[in-house]
Amino acid sequence: MTPRYAHSNAPDGGTRLWRIDDGKVTHWRDTSYEAYISTQPWNFDAEGNSLHMTSSVTHDKSALLSINWSTGDERVLFASDRADVTGAIFNTRTLEPEAVCIDPGRQEWTALAPAVAGELDLIKARLPDDAFHVESQSDDGRRWIVAGHAPDQPVTYHLLDRDKQTLTELFTARPELKPYRLAPMQEVQGKSRDGLTLVSYLTLPADIDGDRPPRPLPMVLIVHGGPWGRDIYGYRRDHQWLADRGYAVLSVNYRGSTGFGKAFVAASEKEHARKMHDDLIDMVDWAIAEGIAQKDKVAIFGLSYGGLASFVGATFTPGVFCCSVPVVGISNLQTLLESMPPYWAGFAEFMYRSYGDPRTEEGRKLLAERSPINKVDNIKKPMLIFHGANDVRCKIAESDSIAAAMQAKNIPVTYIVYPDEGHGFQRPPNQLSHLAIAEAFFARHLGGACEPVGEDFKGSSHEVRAGADILSDLGVA
């Protein structure tokens, strides 16, 4: 395989793209900070003459382009003013894109080639509520493996036979869930206080008919990580778990989330613990106004950036949430940026521009102002912290420091550490114990159901470094 292009980081936090022709590397173009997230080369056609890439350089929403590698001429193959292009189906022989998808709230596929229009219609007819992708194709492109998932159905794989026009289910990732009634999900939209559309997803307990509960429920706000990622419509095991325990569950695509255009991402620049957090509060207020959530029974829960948001919720808006559960979160923005792992080195300028520059006095002041560790005195409600000891992205010192500060001020905290985990929990026994402890915590402060721990701690490495009384709620001494 011969490389044709490469990328590095540009001084403004954007991307520098390079051409590689006959082994010679030359500067090709730069992508600005604003367009960094949504501009990506994808592949060449089979002849190696045209590069396909998504680009938001001249668009707010990323478009699918074809670029003649010899002349530099560009053609827009598909663009939408509603959302970024996020996926494609390619012809197996020509490697030309034949269909593209966007996701303004629910996934939408558009045929670029008439030859696949019937196949898309067949999939949509058979899997009307599913988000789907073509995972692989036969060499001649006549058979596709289609992976689809709906809110009440984990990922399920199908064989599409284009000649027979049949779609046959092969297997599902969680067949044991088939007998159960799972909860549906709603795409909902609200407005931020400065006018942005906030695409969000709401799950209610499965036994509730309709899109609103008969009376307000305790609610868990789950904040996605990144922040340069997004929530989507589809199966979410965390939504199903918490809805089954009696909670409304809300996930918000706050500013900085991807898929909604470069302006939406750029609107998050240096807005941590400010407008990014305001977006979450605005959707909590929406849920209360809609009769979905009990005002005094809303929890905030998230991993990584979602962990930062949970710390921010407890320290910057302590009257909004009745409890918080930060997982591998960030409590000090300056130490986060000063201790980035080596493989983030090229990413540093983007991070400095996004959060604040720790190399300058102004930047350090901003980072200190927005860091939860400096507002521990504001914490009024219970907190449950989880962290993996081997985390190299958000180091354990982020949780150690705020837990210690809370203990020094006699502010109640429960702190759980997994010595054999990193940025998130991978071992199944650790995942089970994490959920069991979180479930007991939510039950204590939100009032939902809580299962006995049973075998959920078997093989788990968890260490309770503060607040061991939570285990009594699980019947564990």
Q: Which candidate, 317, 188, 325, places its Cα nearest to that of 250?
A: 188
CA 183, CA 165: separation in Å to the nearest integer?
A: 31
Q: Are strands 143-150 and 131-137 parallel, antiparallel or unpaired?
A: antiparallel
Q: ∠ CA(294), CA(300), CA(306), 5° rounding?
A: 150
Q: Which candidate, 308, 285, 316, places its Cα nearest to that of 298?
A: 285
CA dist 429 to 10, 174, 425, 453, Å? 42, 18, 9, 12
The reply to whether 391 belongs to the active site is yes
CA 9, CA 36: separation in Å to the nearest integer?
A: 9
Please, are residues 461 and 417 in contact by the beta-carbon 8 Å criterion? no
CA dist 405 to 304, 306, 351, 378, 410, Å? 20, 21, 26, 12, 9
CA 299, CA 275: separation in Å to the nearest integer?
A: 19
423, 434, 445, 462: the catalytic one is: 423
304, 310, 324, 371: the catalytic one is: 304
CA 338, CA 193: separation in Å to the nearest integer?
A: 33
Number of residues assigned to the chain: 477
Residues whose CB falls within 8 Å of the CB of residue 408, separated by 6 or more in sequence, listed in order: none
Residue 404 is which amino acid? A
CA 268, CA 277: separation in Å to the nearest integer?
A: 10
CA 358, CA 364: separation in Å to the nearest integer?
A: 5
Give the residue ranges of DSSP H helices in 290-347.
305-316, 333-338
Residue 400: in which H helix or E strand, if any?
helix 397-408
Is residue 216 reached through a cis peptide bond, with omega within 30 degrees of 0 on the bond before it?
no
Q: Where are the beta strands (DSSP E) in 375-419?
A: 384-388, 414-418
278, 279, 391, 456: the catalytic one is: 391
CA 469, CA 209: separation in Å to the nearest integer?
A: 37
Q: Which two tokens stand for residue 315?
A: 């320290």
CA 106, CA 262: separation in Å to the nearest integer?
A: 19
CA 441, CA 413: separation in Å to the nearest integer?
A: 11
Q: How many CB atoms lie within 10 A of CB 246?
A: 17
Give me the DSSP letters along 44-66. E-TTS-EEEEEE-SS-SS-EEEE
Please, are residues 231 and 204 in contact by the beta-carbon 8 Å criterion? no
> Catalytic site residues?
304, 391, 423
